[in-house]
Homo-oligomer: A and B are copies of this chain.
Amino acid sequence: MTETFAIDPALVERYIMDLARHGAHGETGVWRPVYSEAWFGAQRQVEAWMQAAGMETWWDAVGNVWGRVQGTEDDGQGVILTGSHVDSQLPGGRYDGVLGVISGILAVQTLVERFGRPRRTIEVVSFCEEESSRFPTAHHWGSRAVAGAIAPEDLKNVVSYDGEPIGEVMRAAGFDPDAVATAKRDDIDIFIELHIEQGPILEQMDTPVAVVTGITGIRHYHVALRGRADHAGARPMDTRRDPMAAAAEIISTAIDTAHRMGRPAVTTVGRMFVEPNGAAIVPELVRLTIDARHPDPELRELLYARHEAMMREVCNRRDIDLSWTLGAEQPPRVSDPELVETFVDAAREQGLKYLTMPSGAVHDANRMAGFTRMVMLFVQSKDGRSHTPDEYTSPEHAAAGVQLLAAGLHRLAYG
């Protein structure tokens, strides 16, 4: 007979609302930068829930909070880890990150209550500073520490929006920056991250959950277009070297290229600065950022090659000096095929409607995929909103996510 891991939606909602009190911002938002009082409050709440669920808990050197249920067989297969983060955008919503931490605790609690200790060791983690909430270049600080990917000089060079080095902020918060290397783990076999979708696809398909087949590859082009400043009245159109005209053509064509390549290709121009930025002056310089993503390694390279060739052609034809630097380079990460199959089987067994789809956002799972077998689960987001107090996931959909996670963990750790 098939076990059902159905969870009470009201219970999930209560956990979410309890955590949302830490750093509550406005009606529905949270403001929870890493190492702040609000963040400490949330991490302590997470630890208390872990303990109540029967887990042994600890904080590591960077502030990740861990809970562990020791397996009955210590056969060297390594740890099965699930979790996400509780730091937020400023302001962010109640679900991003948080849902993965709460789901891990509730899934483990359900399994332990019903079946006792698992055969394989399960851990739950609440990573610190996934969002660059306080340090713009700290991105995935907690999972970087676990991967052993923080260099000693990062403690000085990673600085907050206010200019404080992260090492000093850590020390003031009670952590020992010299001990960062102790946070590295090499005994983790599997990492499972449950997260809100942050896009509209599950809602459009009227589906509560998805098993994520891979995480997109990202590149940022920081583009500078330099022309010649001119008087907006006295300089005829046909003799201008107008970088704004080049920027407009580049933006339109880049967006069209990604659109024509089809889902899940995306290209976004979200950031732009103009100099001198005067209404009656043809600009001298336009700077813009192109964010382009594809989870397929070959199609990603094709997308980038098309963008680069197009920028060169436009700027050559318009007599504009073109330069760019690259940022936010993240290779695509393919989910472990066996884990995808395990969670697809679990969704079928539980009678949950599901999709398989790639992730267009990056997560701690990107970093973890470098040294573990990785899979992600998505839960439906209302209107595809995230990184805003407007983000919302219904208790029923959240409970479906916990059910899928519990069913998959059961197969992996108890089977």
Interface residues of A (CB under 8 A from B): 197-201, 204, 216, 218, 220, 229-239, 242, 244-245, 247-249, 251-252, 255, 258-259, 263-272, 274, 276-283, 289, 291, 293, 327-328, 359-362, 381, 384-388
Q: Are A201 and B236 in contact (CB under 8 A)?
A: yes
The residues of B that contact A229 with a CB separation of less than 8 Å are 388
Interface centre among A234, A268, A359, A387 (most CB of B within 10 A): A234
Q: Are B266 and A235 in contact (CB under 8 A)?
A: yes
**Least CB distance, A405 to chain B, in whole angstroms:** 20
Q: Are A265 and B237 in contact (CB under 8 A)?
A: yes
The residues of B that contact A271 with a CB separation of less than 8 Å are 274, 277-279
Beyond A231-B386, A236-B264, whether A278 also contacts B274 by CB under 8 A is: no
In whole angstroms, how far apart are the Cα atoms of A236 and B245 in the complex? 26
How many copies of this protein are present in the complex? Answer: 2
CB < 8 Å neighbour of A216 from B233, B235, B264, B359:
B233
In whole angstroms, how far apart are the Cα atoms of A239 and B264 in the complex? 12
> Residue on B with the closest CB to A204?
B239
Q: Are A248 and B255 in contact (CB under 8 A)?
A: yes
Q: Are A199 and B272 in contact (CB under 8 A)?
A: no
Q: Are B272 and A231 in contact (CB under 8 A)?
A: no
> Residue on B with the closest CB to A215?
B233
Can you list 6 A-B contacts with CB-CB less than 8 angstroms, sorted by A residue number? Answer: A198-B231, A199-B231, A231-B384, A236-B266, A268-B280, A280-B328
The residues of B that contact A272 with a CB separation of less than 8 Å are 244, 272, 274, 277
The residues of B that contact A231 with a CB separation of less than 8 Å are 198-199, 360-361, 384, 386-387
> Residue on B with the closest CB to A252?
B248
Which 7 A-B pairs have CB atoms at the shortest separation, nearest pair first? A199-B234, A233-B360, A248-B251, A232-B268, A198-B234, A279-B289, A237-B259
Q: Are A236 and B291 in contact (CB under 8 A)?
A: no
In whole angstroms, how far apart are the Cα atoms of A231 and B196 in the complex? 12
Q: Are A236 and B251 in contact (CB under 8 A)?
A: no
Further pairs besides A231-B361, A244-B268, A268-B282: 4, Cβ < 8 Å: A234-B360, A236-B263, A238-B259, A244-B251
Interface centre among A232, A255, A278 (most CB of B within 10 A): A232
The residues of B that contact A381 with a CB separation of less than 8 Å are 234
In whole angstroms, how far apart are the Cα atoms of A281 and B270 in the complex? 5
In whole angstroms, how far apart are the Cα atoms of A134 and B263 in the complex? 52
**Least CB distance, A56 to chain B, in whole angstroms:** 35
The residues of B that contact A258 with a CB separation of less than 8 Å are 237
The residues of B that contact A247 with a CB separation of less than 8 Å are 248, 251
Q: Are A252 and B249 in contact (CB under 8 A)?
A: yes
Beyond A255-B237, A387-B231, whether A328 also contacts B279 by CB under 8 A is: yes
In whole angstroms, how far apart are the Cα atoms of A360 and B234 in the complex? 4
Interface centre among A265, A271, A381 (most CB of B within 10 A): A271
CB < 8 Å neighbour of A200 from B239, B252, B274, B384:
B239
